[in-house]
Structure 1
Amino acid sequence: ADLGYNTENVMMCTLMSMPLLDLSSPESLSRHAQTVRNNEQLINQKMNGSPLFTEWAKGKPPYRSEAIYPVSLA
């Protein structure tokens, strides 16, 4: 059955990797949070303004999601 998903010309890439957090002070956590917000805004702006993409999404792909409940093969 055709579920309406476009599976042609699909590209997946990592646009932003998370640096190690410096937990030594509240200021460093605040700076990190601001950097993440700024990077997300920039990515949104550039992706929305690009003529190369008709649609895009961010987040973990479903196949990389972790199980909510432990599963055993017993």
Structure 2
Amino acid sequence: METAKLFMNGRSQAVRLPKKFRFEGNEVLIKKTNAGVLLIPKTDSPWEVWKSNLMKYDTPFMEERKQPVELPERKGLNEVFD
């Protein structure tokens, strides 16, 4: 995994990206996640990014799956949720 340098630009923190990670344009979409920060080119909508990544797979991965077994009815639960 590669690294990038952090620096202060006025009162804002900035990241100096290596050349091969540069973005087109002047802005990016930014999202804070549990693991860090995600940057997406502003020219692409998040849905377009999702769709292009989904198209990398040859076959649908959710086409068939086992259905959950029907749970037996439990006495007394209907009274709790009524």
- Shared fold per TM-score greater than 0.5: no
Q: Which has the higher contact order (CA 8 A, sep 6+)?
A: 1
Higher strand share: 2
Higher helix share: 1
TM range (shorter): under 0.3
> Which of structures 1 and 2 has the bigger CA Rg?
2
TM-score normalized by structure 2?
Answer: 0.17
